[in-house]
Amino acid sequence: MLQEIAEQPAVLETTIHAEREKYRRLGEFLRKKDIDLIVIVARGSSDNASLFGRYLLEVTAGIPVSLAAPSVYTLYNAKINLSRALVIGVSQSGEGADINQVLESAKASGAYTLGITNEGDSTMARIADEALLIHAGREKSVAATKTYTGQMLHFYMLARELAQNKLEFERIPEYTAKALELRHNVEKLVERYVFMENCVVVGRGMNYGNSYELALKLMETCYVVAERFSSADFFHGPLAIVERRFPVVLFGPTGVTKKSSVELLNRLHELNADCLAITNDADIAKMAPNSLILPSDIDEFLSPIPFIVPAQLFAALLSEAKGIDPDAPRSLSKVTKTI
């Protein structure tokens, strides 16, 4: 897991160069189609990447995005009219049976389909009208890291084409390399949390998907019961679980979500809670009892990939500190096939 975390800048750089021309052609094609809905279907970490994709595509392209419930198709056999939709399957292996069944059903209803996967010869790549590849090489760790950020990168590339915006995602590999430099800070920090059994992970907007992803990583590699919330939702009841020294991890970039991050930190201070902030904002870093600080010039829209890197390191190193092998979590396998 640690090795694959370290590979991410190179994977992202390779994916940008390898898929750029494909996206140019795809963008020309999609802009001519009458698409008024995007549907994304995924499970696990891929679903968390898709949650980020939903925010990014809706904000930049102005097209409504739905995260599909695969059971609607696989268990209830619902017939959904997707004739004017773009349907995107997201799967590291490309072998999720339910995800692929949704893609097949979407094609039958007239949708144009894309498959974001790390495996070019997978079932998903064969089903989708266009396969968008993560050039990560084989991912051996059960806990997805480099394929998660690779999936997020594809949403940036798609957003640029659909919105014809100027998101500077080419800088993300550089920012990701900077984030890896925090490893020594994380190594010292995990000693504080080695006995942690429960926590809350909070993120909002572009980093909301990261709150789900870190919570998943803590559950699968550290066996920590981790809940995840938007900072906006957290005040609507879940705040009641926080007591003295209760651990909260906050994704707090500079940008439009800063106000809600500051409000939450003030409330956590009143409750004497423990908080770890992953941030590039000086005010948030100063307010949090513990923080992992990234470069201040990372725009909020570009923050999700570099911000998840110290979180991945935190999960992997905390797992080791707890005496757990993060590469062999109990009861789990790399490819999960559900219907």
Delimit the domains of the chain by residue range.
Answer: 2-167, 173-321
**Cα(110)–Cα(112) distance, integer angstroms:** 7
Are the folds of 2-167 and 173-321 the same?
yes
What is the H or E stretch that residue 39 is in? strand 37-42
| Superfamily of domain covering 173-321 | Glucose-6-phosphate isomerase like protein; domain 1 (3.40.50.10490)
Query: Is the CATH code 3.40.50.10490 the one for domain 2-167?
Result: yes
Report phi then psi at 112, rounded to 5.
-90, 135
Residue predicted with more confidence, 331 or 109 = 109
Helices 172-180 and 304-321, axial angle in degrees (round to 10) = 30
Q: What percent of the chain has pLDDT over 70?
A: 95
**pLDDT score of 112:** 97
**Cα(17)–Cα(38) distance, integer angstroms:** 25
pLDDT-based confidence at residue 271 (cuts at 50, 70, 90):
confident
**pLDDT score of 233:** 80
Q: Is the pLDDT of residue 334 over 70?
A: no
Cβ partners under 8 Å of residue 239, min gap 6: 267
pTM: 0.95
At 216-267, the pLDDT tens digits run 999 999 999 999 988 788 766 667 667 778 899 999 999 999 999 999 999 8
**Cα(205)–Cα(201) distance, integer angstroms:** 14
CA atoms in the 13 A half-sphere facing the CB of 294: 30
Q: Is the pLDDT of residue 339 over 80?
A: no
